[in-house]
Amino acid sequence: MKAALLGKAGGVAIADVPVPVAGPGEIVVSMRACGLCGSDLEKIRGTYTAAPPVIGHEAVGVVADVGEGVEGIRNGARVFPHHHVPCGRCTTCRGGSPTMCAQYRATNLEPGGFAESFRVPRWNVDRGGVLRLPPSVDFERASFIEPLACAIRAVDRARTTPKSALVLGAGPMGLLALQLLRLRGTRALFASEVSPLRAEKARDLGAGIVWDPTNEDVPALAKKETSGLGVDAAVVATGNVRAIAQAVRAVRAGGIVVLLGVPEAGARLDVDPSEFVTREVSMIPSNAATGAETRKALDLIARRKVDVASLVTHRFHLAEFLEAVRVAERAECVKSILTP
């Protein structure tokens, strides 16, 4: 079968690999859709080292093989399998940081979600990492369960419903965060984005104003729109460290900056640390999601509370993976979906 795999020296290639077989406690899923994520692009560039070298984690499909001992999952079931699952029992999990669990990244979809079929490890299956899809949710929309779950966790970690908010980076994650903020009651929503295509989508989904950070002073304009105070919260949905610095300057005294995008390994942040003390600006990182958020995400998608369908602007077959990467790298799409 065909699969997109990372090369040992970087890059990616479409390879012929054996069709996976479900061992005891495992399942094999025939992929029907898998979203291309920014972290996949970073892994291909070799600048994302916080996770195993596997690409494709927004995958959904049909169960094609069920291993011995698996209960409640049958061949032909339409499913979303989470690629990472925490133990739920360790000090880190019980301390409120389950995505930092030592076991969280120990397993993955094999050989990855960008494959005609992939195996879901026993650890993930046993711990509820596989969700059944209701008939009302098609595969394309279901492929947003994982990214929406990540956005949910990020907004939840802010522990407040801001009256005003700025989303920096209107890619798929930023657009999901934007919708969640609007859904939760944020009245004044702003965004910054360099891509005209993505900026227009941000306006469509509720951003009152979208600024171009390449030629506009985003912090100054955010303060101008909030009577000189700054926004209550800023969600940084890009790995660009300049956006983080802009977010710190754009929030009001006592404001919150949520980091949702992952900067490239080795990046350095140019921020005056006194901002965090003299203005009591809080910076809250958020990484990945757990089963709790994936269940919330599936519910929101099923009830059409969050528009994910309109984010898909490009569709590619697995054989066209390199073209999908090229389009995404140039921000010529909002979201690209891969199919077999």
- Which overall architecture, per CATH, does domain 2-144+308-339 show? Alpha-Beta Complex (3.90)
Q: How many whole angstroms separate alpha carbon 50 and alpha carbon 70?
A: 31
The pLDDT of residue 300 is 98
The pLDDT of residue 9 is 66
- Residues 6+ positions from 91 with CB-CB distance below 8 Å: none
Burial class (CB in 10 A: 0-12, 13-18, 19+), 84: buried
Which helix (H) or strand (E) segment holds residue 249: the answer is helix 241-250
The secondary structure of 181-239, three-state, reads HHHCCCCEEEEECCCHHHHHHHHHCCCCEEECCCCCCHHHHHHHCCCCCCEEEEEECCC
Q: How many whole angstroms separate alpha carbon 151 and alpha carbon 174?
A: 8
**CATH 3.40.50.720 residue spans of the chain:** 150-285
The pLDDT of residue 50 is 66
- In whole angstroms, what separates CA 21 from the centre of its chain? 28
Neighbouring-strand partners of residue 34? 59, 338
Residue 117 tokens read as: 């079929």
The pLDDT of residue 53 is 84
User: What is the pLDDT tens value at each position of the chain, 340 positions in all?
Assistant: 999 999 876 789 999 999 999 999 999 999 999 999 999 999 998 877 667 789 999 999 999 999 999 999 999 999 999 999 999 999 999 999 999 999 999 999 999 999 999 999 999 999 999 999 999 999 999 999 999 999 999 999 998 899 999 999 999 999 999 999 999 999 999 999 999 999 999 999 999 999 999 999 999 999 999 999 999 999 999 999 999 999 999 999 999 999 999 988 888 999 999 989 999 999 999 999 999 999 999 999 999 999 999 999 999 999 999 999 999 999 999 999 999 9
Q: How many whole angstroms separate alpha carbon 306 and alpha carbon 332?
A: 23
**CATH 3.90.180.10 residue spans of the chain:** 2-144+308-339
150-285 placed in CATH 3.40.50.720: yes
Contact 125, 73 (CB under 8 A): yes
Report pLDDT digits (tens) over 35-73: 999 999 999 988 776 677 899 999 999 999 999 999 999
The torsion angles phi and psi of 44, rounded to 5 degrees, stand at -65, -35
Report pLDDT digits (tens) over 281-328: 999 999 999 999 999 999 999 999 999 999 999 999 999 999 999 999
The pLDDT of residue 8 is 75
Neighbouring-strand partners of residue 65? 28
Q: How many whole angstroms separate alpha carbon 216 and alpha carbon 201?
A: 19
The pLDDT of residue 285 is 96
Q: DSSP code of 143?
A: T
